Structure 1
Amino acid sequence: MAGYDFKSEEDVKEFLKNLGIEYRFGCYSEKNPEVCHLLGDYLESIKKDYEKAATVYKSNCDDYKYPKSCLKFGSYMLLGKGVRQSDYKCAYDYFNKGCELGNDASCLHQGLLSICDNEDKRLVRDVAKGMSLLEKSCNLNNANACYYLSGMYISGIKKEEKGENLPGLESYQVPKDMKKAFEYALQGCNLGNVYSCANLSQMYRKGDGVEKNAELAEKYKAIALDIQEQITSNKTLSFQEGLPAT
């Protein structure tokens, strides 16, 4: 980045142009999947060319098995972004590819598609599989997956029995379980999910799934407020997410 004055509009344009050239070379000539993903991010964030970005993400997933690209293309298919129309089944398939490659967010989205009803008849609702995928995502340290699991155990998931009113626990495919809800809320809070921390505070306050403890209720309330403040003050664009953390 030496030699660029980022207060100069012309220098910024030149920098972005050269960045695109660098990513294209790294992807198409050097066949580097990390750089291919960065090229997709560049096309999406800088050029706003969602069709080309979708093509890059899809190819990088199919050809190089790059999990973040599987997640991105799955998200594009889900939203109908950069493609003709949304396709839940195709989105599910790409989330599945990403999940099998160890991408926590792919497991999360695949799990939610398995559990939630949608208009695509090609997808059969499978709550047990969806819960298993959410557990995998949570164990891969996805805070949102832990939060969703906790919420599902708080409310339970009812069976869909046509014309039948089943009594009590028989009406639930996933019964309410406040102890499990607490465990997943704790895991989600430790991973930084603000809603998990807020729920944890309420559980300690009421004694739901855990012994009442007013001190810990206040502790997790304070943690939730602190995370919320950080979220509010740190709303920044994350670019070059394809690069590994160092």
Structure 2
Amino acid sequence: MKHKILILLFLIFGLNTALFGENLDKKLSQKFQSTEILEKNCEKNESKSCEILAQIYIDQNITDKADFYIQKSCDLNSEYYCDKLIAKFLRNQDYDKAFIYAKKNYDLGEPTASHVLAKLYYNGFGVEKNVNLAMDYFKKSCNNNISQSCSILGNIYQNGSDDILKDENLSMKYFQKSCINGIYDDCVWSAQLYNLSKDYQKAVELVNIGCENKNFFSCAYLGIYYKKGLGVKQDNQKAKELFEIACNGGFNKACETLKKDYK
């Protein structure tokens, strides 16, 4: 009886294994056939097929095929894959090609392309240096809420240069926008400029944004406002708590303040 059960189990197991193998072969075959269909469709310039193939080969880490279909997708006006091409050319310092595809993406309406063009024009990479044109692109990019462009504009106007006059009001404006859009160090730089006009309430509002988003530089600055009673009611306990948050977050100057003023 035991032998019959063993034979039966063996037969069932063997049958299941065969079925599993057959199903696996079918799946692999279907996958291969679907890839073939996508490739044929891509050859006919069906952009969605090219984009799917690009992602398939990116996921499989098949670099040569991924590169081919990324390029093809971009040629068929995929902003997403043009952006990937631009990133590759920038990594490889192939600025001529980076400029060509950034301009293409800009013409397609991709919002981050203006930031890339601005940096290329500002530094004269892949194109003749043109600071005025770079500034135009930075401003367009900042208006599209690309925070890096806002931050760069803040720095340019804060320091000035041979080509651009120093302008604290514009610097404050752009740092404030980059703070609101996620570059939280700029909350402090903007607050410092509001300090010059003694608008401490606005300064506090900005560093509070940074601190709430775990920017410990901002927390330390917020502590200073509470310690001195600038823009807020003076509160030494609140100031200490903010310095502790900043210190625990790795902002060493806050640790020094705690040792010096809150022993």
**Is the TM-score greater than 0.5?**
yes
- Counterparts of 1:225 and 1:82 in 2: how far apart (Å)? 44
Shift of 1:130: 4.2
Structure 1: where are the runs of 5+ without partners?
1-13, 157-174, 230-246
Moved more, 76-85 or 89-98: 76-85
* Number of aligned residues: 195
Structure richer in helix, relative to its length: 2
- Counterparts of 2:171 and 2:245 in 1: how far apart (Å)? 29
Shift of 1:119: 0.7
1:44 pairs with 2:90: yes
Once the two structures are superposed, residues 215-237 of structure 1 have per-residue CA deviations (whole angstroms, 9 ceiling, x without a partner) of: 332332333345448xxxxxxxx
> Paired residue for 1:11?
none
2:112 partner SS: helix
Cα contact 1:20–1:42 (8 A) shared by 2: no
Cα contact 2:208–2:218 (8 A) shared by 1: yes
> Paired residue for 1:97?
140
Q: Which amino acid aligns with 1:151?
A: Q
- Counterparts of 1:226 and 1:34 in 2: how far apart (Å)? 39
Q: How does 1:1-246 map to 2 (within 5 A)?
A: 15-29=62-76, 31-45=77-91, 47-61=92-106, 63-85=107-129, 87-120=130-163, 123=164, 125-154=166-195, 156=196, 175-228=197-250
Shift of 1:141: 3.8
TM-score, structure 2 normalization: 0.62
- Counterparts of 1:73 and 1:144 in 2: how far apart (Å)? 24
Structure 2: where are the runs of 5+ without partners?
1-60, 252-263
Cα contact 1:147–1:193 (8 A) shared by 2: no
TM-score, structure 1 normalization: 0.65
Q: Which amino acid aligns with 1:145?
A: D
The higher-RCO structure (CA 8 Å, 6+ apart) is 1
Report % sequence identity.
27
Flag the structure with larger Rg.
2
Shift of 1:137: 3.4
The alignment's C-alpha RMSD in Å is 3.2
Shift of 1:126: 4.8
- Counterparts of 1:71 and 1:204 in 2: how far apart (Å)? 37
